[in-house]
Structure 1
């Protein structure tokens, strides 16, 4: 059951992170941001990777919170 909940969180958040990455980087080139190349010293592929995992973590948090709030309260659903 816990593995089922894990995949309820991870799978949609991975798809959402991929979609967010496509949307953000279709408009923004990571090497055009001045602080990325000089301060972090990473390549554009590194920026894409870090952004994907940041998006994945944020969306996973939202999915986890949604799954937590959707649980029944004392055997009854919480009133909306």
Structure 2
């Protein structure tokens, strides 16, 4: 059951991260991004990869929280 819940979190968040990646970088050039006023000294591919994993992590957090909030109280307090 635990592995099934893990897939309920990771798979949808993977799809959302891919969609966010496409939407964000359709309008933003990764080489135009700045961090605290400084240029990022990374290649486009590195910025794409880091952004994807950031999007994926945030989406996993959201999916996990939704799954947790949907649990019955008897299972949470166990």
**Greater per-residue strand proportion:** 2
**Counterparts of 1:14 and 1:34 in 2: how far apart (Å)?**
26
- Equivalent pairs counted in the alignment come to 73
Structure 1's consecutive aligned runs of 4 or more residues displaced over 4 angstroms after TM superposition are none
Question: 2:33, 2:40 within 8 Å by CA — same for their partners in 1?
Answer: no
Q: CA RMSD in A?
A: 1.6
Give secondary structure in 1 for the equivalent of 2:74.
coil
**Pairwise mapping of residues 1-80 of structure 1 onto structure 2 (< 5 A)?**
1-35=1-35, 39-74=39-74
Query: Structure 2-normalised TM-score?
Result: 0.85
Q: Tell me, which stretches of 5 or more residues in structure 1 are unaligned? A: 76-80
Name which one, 1 or 2, has greater alpha-carbon Rg: 1
TM-score by length of 1: 0.83
